[in-house]
A = this chain, B = another copy of it.
Amino acid sequence: MSTLVTGIGELVTNDPALGPGPLGIVTGAALVVDGGRVVWVGPAAAAPAADDRVDLDGRAVLPGFVDSHTHLVFAGDRSAEFEARMSGVPYDGGGITSTVAATRAADDDLLRSRLRAVVAEMRAQGTTTVEVKSGYGLSVAEEARALRIAREVTGETTFLGAHVVPPEFAGRVEEYVALVTGPMLAACAPFARWVDVFCEPASPHAFDGEASRAVLEAGRAAGLGLRVHGNQLGPGPGVRLAVELGAASVDHCTYLADADVDALAAGATVATLLPGVEFSTRSPYPDARRLLDAGVTVALATDCNPGTCFSSSMPLCVALAVREMRMTPAEAVWAATAGGAAALHREDVGQLRVGARADLSVLDAPSYRHLAYRPGVPLVRSLPPGDRSSASGVIGLTLER
């Protein structure tokens, strides 16, 4: 059944062929959705007939957010660690092990219900595609379990056995890397699209360049795409390694040398910035302008996780990107939609042109600018009004499951 969506005050298509700027803005637009896909976009006056019709009364429509970096399979609570950090205790990655202990102790149903609760929050805030990493299991069985559960809600699953070195391997990093690249990878690859590594020589808990290369090369050999956590806590080899190996994305990018920026600009790897982490750890924000001005493709994601950023809010990321990283509202909205799609090598999401998935976020506002102009306000609108329990503000929601 086809649905004609009219009364769109401002349509963000992210297709420069459809309208001005990288956002491809169309005003006075209409859009026809059928079978979960966009089948027609254009001026309302020229819209074809459809079986059903929704009038948005001047509201802005943009592609659903693509949250390309999250850690959602976990148990436990780290609000006390957050409170301590806000009173001055620094973050070095060590708190991850407390989540590992709680996650290992949890049964599948608990992990599943926690995961689904956060995914429901994301939907309500306009996220329609989400990547989910493992990384709180850190054993063959536990990592495979996490990915199997994550696979129930998204096809964008990432094996992150190399998140931190678990306590039982303390001082035996090489042995742990052998486990990750051997039996753990073998058990996890069937449930994963991607492999990722926390490449951070500055952290006593994470992995250096050599170990990171081993993890990524093994993942690639197993048929997985590559992602990297790099340069979050200090300078390091993560960014250049990601570009060299052709990773889809390198995430964090807070401490960059000129050579890192040059590599990103020359390569095909997306730089994914996670400003919610800097907000929740009171850390310096990455220099988004330096990356953008160098021509690097930038994505925004939440990094939603119980330690360094327990926010599921892509609108907050957009507002922080504008306030703290001096991205324009247009750059931030592009990065949170098309940028996230690029970071996941996806062409069917992050844009609203014919053939794309009909993942629409409808704002209770006339413009995408209001995502930054109205920080903290839940602007993603339910359709029909008041029906928050179902589609939660997203027409044609097709979050993978």
Contacts and interface: CB of A to CB of B under 8 A. Distances in A.
A328 B86 contact: yes
A14 interface: no
A78 to B, nearest CB: 8
Contact of A369 (B79, B329, B369, B374): B79
Interface stretch (A146-154, A290-298, A384-392): A384-392
Contacts of A370: 79, 310
A282 interface: yes
A279 interface: yes
B329 A375 contact: no
B328 A375 contact: no
Interface string A305-319: 000001111011101
Contacts of A374: 310-312
A2 interface: no
Nearest to A327: B86
Contacts of A369: 79-80, 82-83
A382 interface: yes
A377 B86 contact: no
Q: Which of A317, A326, A375, A385 has the most CB of B within 10 A?
A: A375
A276 B86 contact: no
A400 interface: no
B83 A328 contact: yes
Contacts of A315: 376
When all copies of this chain in the complex are counted, the total is 2
Given A77-B366, A125-B378, A372 B86 contact: yes
A344 to B, nearest CB: 22
Interface string A334-375: 000000000000000000000000000000001101101111
A206 interface: no
Contact of A311 (B77, B279, B376): B376
Contacts of A282: 323
Q: Which of A83, A315, A372, A373 has the most CB of B within 10 A?
A: A373
A10 B312 CA distance: 23
A280 interface: yes
A313 B279 contact: no
Interface in A98-148: 121, 124-125
A77 B369 CA distance: 11
Given A388-B388, A389-B386, A373 B310 contact: yes
Contacts of A300: none
Given A388-B382, A389-B385, A83 B329 contact: yes
Interface of A: 77-80, 82-83, 86-87, 121, 124-125, 276, 279-280, 282, 310-313, 315-317, 319, 322-323, 326, 328-329, 366-367, 369-370, 372-378, 382, 385-389
Give 3 closest A-B pairs by Cβ, nearest first.
Answer: A316-B376, A386-B389, A313-B376
28 contacts: A79-B370, A82-B369, A82-B373, A83-B372, A86-B328, A121-B378, A276-B375, A276-B376, A279-B375, A280-B323, A280-B373, A280-B375, A282-B323, A310-B374, A311-B374, A311-B376, A311-B377, A312-B374, A312-B376, A313-B376, A313-B377, A315-B376, A316-B375, A316-B376, A317-B376, A385-B389, A386-B388, A388-B389
Given A82-B372, A312-B377, 8 more contacts: A79-B367, A121-B378, A280-B323, A310-B373, A310-B374, A311-B375, A316-B375, A319-B376
